[in-house]
Structure 1
Amino acid sequence: MKTNQQQGLLVKDVSEMTGLSRQVIRKWEDRYGIICPKRHENGYRLYTFEDVSTLMKICGLREKGHTLKESLHLVRSQHIPEAVPKEPLSEYVLELLEKGSNYDEAGLILLLKQAHHRHGLENFLSNTIQPLMLEIGKLWENGEWDESQETITSLVIRDFLVQIRRNFELEDGAPIILGSCLPNETHEIPLHIILLQTMMHGWQTIAAGPSPKLSSIEYLVQRLKPKKLLLSATTTIPFEQDPCLFEKLEEIAARNPYTEFFIGGHGVFSHEVFLAPKRIRIAYSMEDVLN
C-alpha cells in the first residue's frame, strides 16, 4: 500500500519518522486522543504529517524534561516553549558525585541522609536520586567512571532506598504492590524509587530483587496475592535474552487473575515486543499504576 500526503501515512511510516514504537503511538492515540487518524477502507489507520508533527512536539518536550502529562497539556494548549532550561544539578548531587568518584561510602551515606532530611521523601527522590542516577549513567557511558565507582555508588544508593522502605510506616491492611525486575535485569534502583512513590500513596510494597526467575515471580504472586504486580525493565536485555518473555508473562498473568499485572521502564518502551497485550498493562507513568 503506497502512502503519500494526500492518502495518508501508515503507522510504520510514523514510527520511522518519529522514532516511537508502533505500540507507543497507538497507546497515546487510544489513551490520550492526542492524534485521531482516519481509517482506510481496508481498516488501516492513516496518519497525517500534522499527526507526525504533534508526536514530534511531545517527544521534544519530554527530552527537555517535561513529563508525558505536561507535554500533552502543552501541545493541546499550543503553548510550546522555545526552550526549557535544564535544571542545574543541586549541591547535594554534585557532592554525591564527588564522593562516589572517590569511593567514599561513608560520605555518600551522610549526604544522602542530609538530603533526605532536608527535602522530604518526594523531593528527595525527584531532585536528588533521579538526577543523580542520570548523571552516574552518563559518566559510565562516557568512560569517566570505571565499573567500581558506578557499582559502589549504586549499591550505597540502593541500600539507602531499601532502608527507607523498611522503615516506612503504613496503616494496617494497606493493599500490597509486589515489585520485581525481569529476569536478566539487574538495575533495581528505578524499581525502588517507584515502590517508594507508591508507598506515599498508601501502598504496602514488597520487592523481589534483581533478575529473579519467572518461577520465583509467579511463586510470590501466588503466595502473597498482591493487588498489583509491577515489573521493571530498565534495559532491553531481558527481551533480548528471551524473545518469548512477554508471552510467558502473559501466561503467568492468566493463571493469577486476582493480581493486576503492570510492566514499565525504558527497556519496555524501546523494545517492540508488545504487539497485542491482553492481560498485562504497560505503565507509562505512575498514574497508570495507581489509577
Structure 2
Amino acid sequence: MKTNQKQGLLVKEVSELTGLSRQVIRKWEDRYGIVCPKRHENGYRLYTFEDVGTLLKICSLKEKGHSLKEALHILRLQEIPDAIPEEPLSEEVVELLEKGANYDEAGLLLVLKQAHHRYGLESFLKNTIQPLMLEIGELWAKGEWDESQESITSLVIRDFLVQIRRNFDLGEGAPIILGSCLPDETHEIPLHIILLQAMMHGWQTIAAGPSPKLSSIEYLVQRLKPEKLLLSATTSLPFEQDPKLFEKLEDMASRYETTEFFLGGHGVYNHEIFLAPKRIKIAYTMEDVLN
C-alpha cells in the first residue's frame, strides 16, 4: 500500500527515504519520542516529511561522531526546547543490571522482591520492569551483554512475574483473558506484564507459554472460551516464518465469535499485512484490550 503526501508516509516509505530499518525507526519512536506519527482510522502509523527530516538530522549527527543519546540531546536543544528530558534509571534498575551482568540470580531475585514490595505492582511494572527490559535489549544490541547474560536475567524476571500471577488473588467468576505468544515467538515477558495489568483490572488470566502451535492456541480457545484472546508478537519472526499466519488467525477468529481476538507487540506494528484487519483487533495499549 502506498500513501500520498497529504495522508502521510508509511513506515516502509520512511525507511526508504532515510535508509533506517523499520525496527530502528520504531525503536527511536517508542524509546525517545522524537517522531510522533498520527494514526489512520485503520490503526497504522502515518509519518510526515518533518519526521523524515528529524530522522535524517539524527543520522547526520551520528555520522559526525555523536552517540545516539548525544544526537537526540543536541536535536532537543535545537528544535524542541520544551521537551521533557529522559528519566534517569532508578537505583533498582541500575542494581538489577549489575546483578545480571554478573550472573547473580539470587541477587536479581532479591532486588526484584524488594522493588515489588516497596512500590506495589503497578509502579513496579512501569518503573522497574519495563525500563529494565529496554536497557537489557539495548545492551544486548550493542554487544555490551552476551546472550548468556541476557538469557539468565530474562529467565529470572520471567519466573518472578509468573509467580506474582500465580499468587494473585481474584474473586470467583472473574472474566478470562487468554494470553499467548505466536508460533516462533519466544519473548514472554511483555505478555506477562500485560496479563498482570489485566489482573489489576479484575481479569482472570491464563498464559499459553512461548511459541505454541497454532492448533494449541485454538484448542485452548475452544476449551476455555475466554472473553478475550491476546496474541503477542514482540518480533516479526512469526510472520516471516509463516507469511500466511495472519490469514490463519483471521480464520480462527471467525470460528469463535464469542471471543474477542487482539494482536499486539512491535512485531505487529511494522507488518504491512495488518493495515486492514477484519475480525482481529490490533492493540496498541492495554486500554485497547480492556475497553
In structure 2, the residue matched to 1:46 is none
Contact 2:262-2:281 within 8 A present in 1 as well:
yes
In structure 1, the residue matched to 2:41 is 30
Displacement of 1:53 in angstroms is: 6.2
SS of residue matched to 1:180:
strand
In structure 2, the residue matched to 1:47 is none
Q: Does the alignment pair 1:202 with 2:213?
A: no
Query: For 1:7-45, what per-residue CA distance to the aligned partner results, in whole angstroms no more than 9, with x for missing partners?
Result: x62657555248789xxx99823279x99xxxxxxxxxx
Q: Does the alignment pair 1:276 with 2:276?
A: yes
Contact 1:183-1:212 within 8 A present in 2 as well:
yes
SS of residue matched to 1:30:
coil
In structure 1, the residue matched to 2:217 is 217
Root mean square deviation of aligned Cα: 3.0
Contact 2:42-2:276 within 8 A present in 1 as well:
no
In structure 1, the residue matched to 2:182 is 182
| CA spacing shift, 1:193–1:82, aligned 2, 3 Å | same
Work out the CA distance in 2 between the residues paired with 1:96 and 1:9: 46
Displacement of 1:271 in angstroms is: 1.4
In structure 1, the residue matched to 2:59 is none
Query: For 1:95-145, what per-residue CA distance to the aligned partner results, in whole angstroms no more than 9, with x for missing partners?
Result: 000000111000000000000000000000000000000010011111111
Displacement of 1:54 in angstroms is: 8.3
Query: For 1:131-174, what per-residue CA distance to the aligned partner results, in whole angstroms no more than 9, with x for missing partners?
Result: 00001001111111111111110000000000000000111100
In structure 1, the residue matched to 2:48 is 52
Contact 1:14-1:52 within 8 A present in 2 as well:
no
In structure 2, the residue matched to 1:151 is 151
Contact 1:227-1:260 within 8 A present in 2 as well:
yes
SS of residue matched to 1:177:
strand
Contact 2:175-2:204 within 8 A present in 1 as well:
yes
In structure 2, the residue matched to 1:90 is 90
SS of residue matched to 2:135:
helix
| CA spacing shift, 1:219–1:93, aligned 2, 3 Å | same
Q: Does the alignment pair 1:232 with 2:243?
A: no
In structure 1, the residue matched to 2:107 is 107
Contact 1:177-1:204 within 8 A present in 2 as well:
yes
Contact 2:9-2:48 within 8 A present in 1 as well:
no
SS of residue matched to 2:186:
coil
Displacement of 1:272 in angstroms is: 1.2
Displacement of 1:82 in angstroms is: 3.1
The number of residue pairs the alignment matches comes to: 248
Unaligned runs of 5+ in 2: 16-21, 27-35, 56-68, 70-79
Work out the CA distance in 2 between the residues paired with 1:99 and 1:108: 6
Segments of 4+ moved more than 4 angstroms: 10-15, 17-21, 53-57
Query: For 1:209-251, what per-residue CA distance to the aligned partner results, in whole angstroms no more than 9, with x for missing partners?
Result: 0000000000000000000000000000000000000000001
Work out the CA distance in 2 between the residues paired with 1:169 and 1:56: 48
TM-score, normalized by length of structure 1?
0.78
| CA spacing shift, 1:242–1:83, aligned 2, 3 Å | same
Contact 1:199-1:205 within 8 A present in 2 as well:
yes
SS of residue matched to 2:41:
helix
Work out the CA distance in 1 between the residues paired with 2:235 and 2:168: 28
Q: Percent of aligned positions with the same letter in both sequences?
A: 73
Work out the CA distance in 2 between the residues paired with 1:237 and 1:250: 18
In structure 2, the residue matched to 1:48 is none
Work out the CA distance in 2 between the residues paired with 1:271 and 1:14: 11
| CA spacing shift, 1:164–1:14, aligned 2, 3 Å | closer
SS of residue matched to 1:191:
helix
Query: For 1:162-187, what per-residue CA distance to the aligned partner results, in whole angstroms no more than 9, with x for missing partners?
Result: 00000001111000000000000000
In structure 2, the residue matched to 1:290 is 290
Q: Aligned partner of 1:262: which letter?
A: F
